[in-house]
């Protein structure tokens, strides 16, 4: 038996990855604990807690925007407590080489983590060396790295459901929060240039089936269990594309309608939708769907974003969703390579045409290792390089205005009458200090996710520091000219 302590940032990032690893490790006899940095006032307090848990190893689950938060903690855990540290998660999958340079990291999980971490824990428990575990890179005593190839992908039903208790036992606010997230599949077959999923497909090319789904029985059993133990008002599926396999979704809807009597929501891809599917989703209680528009300019989607979905498909799917009374939210990105202010305004205008219930706007983060970053670099469309991302070239000097989308976006997408004033609104010199106004975007979530105002306010108040540091730019990359 070995003991791992996961250190995560805050309860807003409630990680299904950590929970999945936890339940698997516990089912094999290991011990798992979790602490959240947001609970401590400074690094000394964090280290005291780590010491008190006395783990054999400390684990971090990392998305790229969390690196700058976790790096100093990792270093302190290593230098001041002398403990081993393992990093995993999306950042380690896509920026493994970069991660080898972080002081204090002993192991890097470069893919799915269940088998790799279990083997590491077994070896730690047995006092055996751990330099040759598939899917795990290990730092040798001379500082060099043993870069082991990825292991095979496994079917998902063989893993126990995520260990929610790991978070909920110490965070009753989270346990009582009305929306519970689930994942029914892993992998995505599409090739959007700004996303990491295509890179994952390349990494796992000869390692088994990447796009895998749990069986309907398995998912329904988990939802029944979770919703019977924790207050739930809405079930949300965080799958990248919930509607990938129509046969599965139809079977699922039938079971959900009979067994679970709660509204639900999910992310969909609009080009694989038909009326029969939407009718079945509605009959099963689907309250809302989210889909990526990303750009309201068809040509930009087709070329820059490699998302070959024509305008008419968005119009038609949206019409069907309205017909069946399913709410739909869109996502749009701004400041894309080659994008002018005119494009940005056209994006907002098209978004109005499809009449979404709500829209989330963001400024593109062009991550290294994505196809978009490669293309933009080759075409000379990157004006600066950061540690993790590239900044796209501002071809018409409009990026400061486009970044104003972060505060003005909600108003522009919400009030069609404002569109003719879009350029002056976006062009106004609003201080970056007002970027916290992006928080008003979350107002839409209340209706969409069926969250009572009182619960939302309590949740927001308790997490206000996290919300505000996120939008104030604390997690931004630092750019230097190439
Ligand atoms: C749900 C989700 C969220 C949720 C919850 C995040 C969370 N902590 O889980 C929320 C809404 C908070 C979120 C936010 C963001 N997200 Co997000 N999110 C996802 C999503 C859709 C699913 C994650 C998930 O639960 N997967 C299922 C679990 C089982 O898989 P997993 O987390 O990868 O974990 C496995 C392995 O990575 C590994 N592993 C994970 N942790 C560890 C730790 C150790 C020690 C080990 C050994 C192994 C290991 O083992 C796990 C089991 O196999 C993914 C896309 C995807 N399909 O995965 C994007 C994704 C992770 N998100 C992404 C991004 C970019 C973001 C945001 C930056 C978006 C934004 N612009 O704001 C923010 C970041 C917020 C922040 N403050 O840091 C990117 C990450 C890219 C990157 N380079 O890091 C992804 C990959 C989407 C994408 N395709 O680009 N996200
Ligand atoms: S559909 Fe979503 S998850 Fe799939 S490649 Fe495109 S952006 Fe990524």
pLDDT at 432 over 70: no
**Mutation test residue for ligand 1: of 89, 448, 468, the one with most atoms within 8 Å of CB:** 89
Nearest Cα to Cα of residue 166 among 347, 49, 261, 31: 31
pLDDT band at residue 473 under the 50/70/90 scheme: very low
**Mutation test residue for ligand 1: of 90, 97, 119, 448, the one with most atoms within 8 Å of CB:** 90
DSSP-H helix ranges across 155-274: 165-168, 172-175, 197-203, 216-229, 246-259
- Reported as a single tens digit per residue, the pLDDT across 374-412 is 999 999 999 889 999 998 888 888 877 777 776 677 678
* Separation CA 106–CA 75 (nearest Å): 11
Q: Is 407 helix (H, G, I), strand (E, B) or coil?
A: helix
* Ligand 2 atom closest to Cα of residue 190: 5
Q: In the predicted model, what is the mean pLDDT of the chain?
A: 92
Q: So what's the pLDDT on residue 482?
A: 56
Output the six-digit token pair for 44.
């000394």
Q: So what's the pLDDT on residue 472?
A: 43
For residue 163, report the distance from its CA to the centre of ligand 2, in Å: 26
Sequence-separated (6 or more) residues with CB below 8 Å from residue 177: 455, 459
Which one has a higher pLDDT value, 393 or 131?
Answer: 131
Handedness of CA 71, 73, 74, 80 (dihedral sign): positive
* Separation CA 415–CA 399 (nearest Å): 22
Nearest CA to ligand 2 atom 1: 190
Counting ligands in written order, the one closest to the CA of 114 is 1
Domains and their CATH numbers in the chain: 3-147 (3.40.50.280), 178-450 (3.20.20.70)
Nearest CA to ligand 2 atom 3: 240
Pocket lining: 190 vs ligand 2, CB cutoff 6 Å: yes
For residue 187, report the distance from its CA to the centre of ligand 1, in Å: 12
Nearest CA to ligand 2 atom 8: 195
For residue 92, report the distance from its CA to the centre of ligand 1, in Å: 11
pLDDT, average across residues 444-471: 81
Strand 57-61 with 31-36, pairing: unpaired
> In this structure, are residues 55 and 4 in contact, taking their beta carbons and an 8 Å threshold?
yes
pLDDT band at residue 431 under the 50/70/90 scheme: low
Which one has a higher pLDDT value, 418 or 106?
Answer: 106
For residue 409, report the distance from its CA to the centre of ligand 2, in Å: 23
Burial of residue 452, with CB atoms counted within 10 A of its CB: 0-12 exposed, 13-18 middle, 19 or more buried: exposed
Nearest CA to ligand 1 atom 13: 13
pLDDT band at residue 420 under the 50/70/90 scheme: confident
- Least confident residue range of 41-45, 253-257, 359-363: 359-363
pLDDT, average across residues 406-423: 77
Pocket lining: 121 vs ligand 2, CB cutoff 6 Å: no
pLDDT, average across residues 54-76: 95
Nearest CA to ligand 1 atom 8: 15
Q: So what's the pLDDT on residue 363?
A: 85
* Ligand 2 atom closest to Cα of residue 294: 7
Output the six-digit token pair for 278.
């939407």
Pocket lining: 351 vs ligand 2, CB cutoff 6 Å: no
Residue matched to tokens 């290792």: 369
Counting ligands in written order, the one closest to the CA of 370 is 1
Pocket lining: 154 vs ligand 2, CB cutoff 6 Å: no
Output the six-digit token pair for 101.
């340079």
pLDDT at 471 over 50: no
* Separation CA 226–CA 165 (nearest Å): 10
**Mutation test residue for ligand 2: of 197, 295, 309, the one with most atoms within 8 Å of CB:** 197
* Separation CA 326–CA 242 (nearest Å): 15
Q: Tell me what percent of the residues of the chain surpass a pLDDT of 90.
A: 74
pLDDT, average across residues 132-158: 97
pLDDT band at residue 434 under the 50/70/90 scheme: low
Strand 366-367 with 389-392, pairing: antiparallel
For residue 62, report the distance from its CA to the centre of ligand 1, in Å: 8
Strand 3-8 with 57-61, pairing: parallel
Pocket lining: 193 vs ligand 2, CB cutoff 6 Å: no
For residue 310, report the distance from its CA to the centre of ligand 1, in Å: 28
- Reported as a single tens digit per residue, the pLDDT across 181-223 is 999 999 999 999 999 999 999 999 999 999 999 999 999 999 9
> In this structure, are residues 288 and 327 in contact, taking their beta carbons and an 8 Å threshold?
yes
For residue 296, report the distance from its CA to the centre of ligand 1, in Å: 26
For residue 91, report the distance from its CA to the centre of ligand 1, in Å: 8
Ligand 1 site, CB within 6 A: 13, 15-17, 20-21, 59, 61, 63-66, 86, 88-91, 94, 109, 112-114, 117, 183, 195-197, 238, 240, 362, 367, 470
Pocket lining: 242 vs ligand 2, CB cutoff 6 Å: no
**Mutation test residue for ligand 2: of 241, 272, 294, 332, the one with most atoms within 8 Å of CB:** 241
pLDDT at 474 over 60: no
> In this structure, are residues 328 and 318 in contact, taking their beta carbons and an 8 Å threshold?
yes
pLDDT at 296 over 90: yes
For residue 16, report the distance from its CA to the centre of ligand 1, in Å: 8
Pocket lining: 367 vs ligand 2, CB cutoff 6 Å: no
pLDDT, average across residues 74-101: 97
Within 10 Å of residue 158's Cβ, how many Cβ atoms?
10
């Amino acid at each position: 038996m070995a003991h791992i302590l996961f250190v995560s940032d805050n309860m807003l990032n409630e990680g299904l990855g950590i929970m999945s690893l936890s339940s698997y490790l516990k089912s094999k006899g290991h011990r798992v604990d979790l602490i959240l940095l947001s609970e401590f006032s400074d690094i000394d307090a964090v280290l005291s807690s780590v010491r008190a848990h006395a783990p054999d190893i400390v684990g971090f689950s990392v998305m790229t925007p969390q690196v700058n938060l976790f790096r100093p903690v990792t270093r302190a855990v290593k230098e001041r407590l002398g403990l081993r540290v393992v990093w995993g998660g999306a950042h380690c999958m896509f920026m493994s080489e970069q991660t080898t340079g972080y002081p204090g990291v002993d192991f890097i999980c470069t893919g799915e983590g269940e088998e790799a971490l279990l083997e590491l824990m077994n070896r730690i428990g047995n006092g055996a060396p751990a330099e040759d575990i598939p899917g795990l890179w290990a730092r040798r005593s001379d500082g060099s790295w043993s870069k082991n190839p990825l292991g095979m992908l496994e079917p998902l039903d063989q893993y126990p459901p995520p260990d929610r208790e790991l978070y909920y036992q110490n965070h009753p606010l989270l346990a009582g929060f009305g929306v519970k997230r689930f994942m029914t599949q892993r992998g995505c077959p599409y090739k959007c240039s700004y996303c990491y999923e295509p890179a994952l497909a390349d990494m796992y090319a000869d390692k088994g089936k990447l796009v895998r789904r749990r069986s309907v029985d398995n998912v329904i059993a988990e939802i029944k269990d979770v919703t019977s133990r924790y207050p739930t008002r809405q079930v949300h599926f965080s799958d990248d594309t919930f509607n990938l396999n129509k046969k599965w979704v139809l079977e699922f809807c039938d079971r959900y309608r009979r067994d679970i009597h709660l509204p639900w929501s999910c992310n969909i891809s609009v080009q694989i939708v038909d009326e029969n599917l939407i009718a079945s989703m509605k009959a099963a209680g689907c309250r809302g769907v989210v889909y990526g528009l990303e750009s309201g300019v068809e040509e930009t989607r087709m070329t820059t974003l490699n998302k070959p979905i024509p305008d008419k498909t968005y119009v038609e799917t949206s019409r069907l969703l309205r017909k069946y009374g399913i709410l739909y939210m869109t996502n749009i990105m701004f400041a894309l390579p080659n994008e002018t202010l005119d494009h940005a305004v056209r994006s907002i205008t098209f978004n109005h045409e499809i009449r979404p219930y709500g829209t989330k706007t963001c400024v593109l983060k062009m991550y290294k290792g994505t196809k978009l970053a490669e293309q933009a670099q080759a075409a000379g469309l990157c004006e600066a390089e950061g540690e993790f991302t590239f900044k796209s070239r501002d071809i018409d000097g409009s990026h400061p205005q486009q970044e104003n989308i972060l505060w003005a976006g909600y108003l522009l997408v919400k009030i069609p009458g404002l569109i003719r004033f879009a350029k002056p609104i976006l062009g106004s010199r609003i201080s970056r200090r007002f970027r916290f106004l992006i928080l008003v975007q979350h107002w839409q979530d209340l209706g969409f996710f069926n969250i009572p105002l009182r619960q939302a306010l309590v949740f927001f108040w308790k997490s206000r520091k996290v919300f505000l540091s996120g939008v104030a730019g604390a997690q931004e990359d630092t750019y230097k000219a190439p």
